[in-house]
Structure 1
């Protein structure tokens, strides 16, 4: 089973066409509450017309996340233990919508 860092790296490589990577990409940042913010630009990919809202899941102040796709961007936000989880949610969305499979 491929780990999520290898998978997201492979997905990124599959988008690079000499132009896309110069304007778009993946950003992973920290938040001050504290938490993670992931933004994955879907412009000029097979996934750019998605629209999805996963809603906010908040078990308590230290256990929460949300993710969505709007305006050609996947955005995932969550507590400090949700980075791998949020990248996994992006992977699930991509694979369930036929947007990418490693080795294709």
Structure 2
């Protein structure tokens, strides 16, 4: 099973390195209960690639009502990947998204980068940096 949190972090790097900082990923809890994930594909390599909608245990004849505690719906509309599902489908939806973009050339290993970042709150008299290596932050402190 894929580490979906790391995959989302790598996707965020993909967006950053392409100057697409305004592209968003949202994960919302919905009242069914369930999840709704939206991933903006605008200006990515995947914005015009066909995605075959996936619909499981949803009754289109009954206004789209789900008829199970195990429902799922993934589709693209207006260059936004939408994934909705029952409470136990969060990781499945994210895996569907990453499997689809990987089938079309996305390679997350290209976006596992070493990043250097400065913390938002500086400490007087010290420079504090952290290196991010494969999602682990290692603080580096030097006195000035």
Structure 1 segments, 4+ long, off by >6 Å, are: none
CA apart distance, 1:17 = 3.8
- Structure of greater Rg: 2
Of residues 6-15 and 55-64 in structure 1, the stretch that sits farther from structure 2 once superposed is 55-64
Tell me which of 71, 82, 88 is aligned to 1:81: 88
Q: Distance in 2 between matches of 1:16 and 1:77?
A: 26
Aligned Cα root-mean-square deviation (Å):
1.9
1:63 match: 70
Unaligned runs of 5+ in 2: 59-66, 111-144
Contact 1:63 1:79 in 2 (8 A): yes
Unaligned runs of 5+ in 1: none
Of residues 36-45 and 68-77 in structure 1, the stretch that sits farther from structure 2 once superposed is 68-77
1:46 match: 45
Structure with larger RCO (C-alpha < 8 A, sep 6+): 1
Q: Distance in 2 between matches of 1:2 and 1:84?
A: 9
Structure 2-normalised TM-score? 0.64
SS at match of 2:6: helix
Q: Distance in 2 between matches of 1:53 and 1:76?
A: 12
